[in-house]
Amino acid sequence: MTTPTPHAVGALLTGIADAPDAHALFAETSARLRRLAPFDAAVWVATDPINGLTAAPVRVENLHESGCGTYWESELFAEHVNLFRDLARAAIPVAGLREVTGDRPTLSPLYRNFMCPRGFEDELRAVLRVDRQPWGQLSLFRERGRKPFSARDIALVHTLSAPMARRLRSFAQPAAQSSPTLAIAPGMLLFDAAGGLISINDEARDLLAQMPRGPSTPTSLGIELPLPVWILSTAGRARLTGESTRIRIRTATGRWLVCHASCLRDADGNAGMTALVIEPAKPSDVASLVVAAYELTRRELEVTELIARGLSTGEIAARLVLSAHTVRDHVKSVFDKVGVTSRGELVAKLFTDHFEPLIARATLRVLDVEAS
């Protein structure tokens, strides 16, 4: 294979800079990169820059859903080779599995349990990082019969790491727009001054249908939809206090939703109708929920986030300006409150119980993508 020309690399970087949203960023970069550094399957992931956990969106190419659990479990529990959390802090956040194992891939549980049964012989793994924060990560897989990923391939992906991270970071800013084809529109409900529901959109109906079972009150004015009492109380509190009110609710399928209610006022400042918005929770919403659910202190949450990023006790102590003994005390307290006995189990529980449902609907699985 020839070395990518400056023109080809420039086209890659231009495509990254011009990508309109994260899904397009992953799809278009994958297509261009595949022509320069061929691969047969891939996982492209956005991550929470605070704790490194998977956020949304996710693009999975030529991998069936049945293998995803094994892939993530290897990182959280079994894997000791080429970890994402180690790459996030490495001088070069890109590495090939055969390269780091000295061409002994069987040292990796990921190779034994995930790659080998699926016919993959090498993985190139990268963290998309800028200003020391991980905004994404990717795995590229090559099947048997292909050459391992080369130093040239690693250098090429390294060239893309910071530009992709910057672009992902830009999508997290308030002005960013989600992909129109995959965006989840918020649910909207409008209550009159007496607290009666007078208008609702289809998205709100769909989200309300996912609410957990509980006491409900039938609506008036002909809208045939029982409203959970927590929705009515949230809207009622905003109406009575004149202040914005919000609650978080977990659906029957495990997704977290956030409900915002605000009292609307006329030109003279008089209270009138109340608007309530229901939308999927963001990772930051879930982080504060974790604090409440497990009764973690803010310091314990900080320690937990640094554990998720793979920092050692000494590194956490230096980052938070604490003694190692104090950090160990915080870690023990977190383990006791969450009910786990290891760091991997802690991260797995937070990811599975809280963050994974946030990304399930934003995962785009693409099969039969043609490899070069």
Q: What is the chain's pLDDT, residue by residue, as a tens digit (372 residues)?
A: 567 788 889 999 999 999 998 889 999 999 999 999 999 999 998 887 776 766 667 888 988 766 666 676 666 665 578 888 889 889 999 999 999 999 999 999 889 988 999 999 999 999 999 988 889 999 999 999 999 999 999 999 999 999 999 999 888 654 333 333 334 678 999 988 888 888 999 989 888 888 766 556 677 666 667 777 678 778 887 887 888 887 777 676 666 788 888 988 877 878 789 999 998 877 666 666 666 667 788 899 889 888 877 788 999 999 999 999 999 999 999 999 888 888 888 877 775 555 555 555 556 777 766 655
- Is the whole-model pTM more than 0.75? no
Instruction: Supply 355's token pair.
Output: 């963050």
Residues 6+ apart with CB under 8 A from 333: 300
Residue ranges of the domains in the chain? 6-178+360-366, 187-281, 284-355
Nearest-angstrom CA–CA distance, 235 and 186 = 16
Dmax over Cα atoms in the chain, in whole Å? 75
- Size of the chain, expressed as the number of residues it contains: 372
Q: Does domain 6-178+360-366 have CATH number 3.30.830.10?
A: no
Residues 264 and 262: their CA atoms lie apart, in Å, by 6
- Bin 5: left if φ > 0, else alpha if -120 < ψ < 50, else beta: beta
Which CATH code for domain 187-281? 3.30.450.20
Q: Quick one: fold of 284-355?
A: Arc Repressor Mutant, subunit A (1.10.10)
Domain 6-178+360-366 and domain 284-355, same fold? Reply is no
Q: At what angle do helices 6-18 and 151-171 cross, to 10 degrees?
A: 20
Q: What is the pLDDT of residue 17?
A: 95
Residue 34 CA to residue 370 CA, distance in Å, equals 9
Instruction: Strand 256-265: give its sheet, edge to edge.
Output: 197-200, 187-191, 271-280, 256-265, 245-250
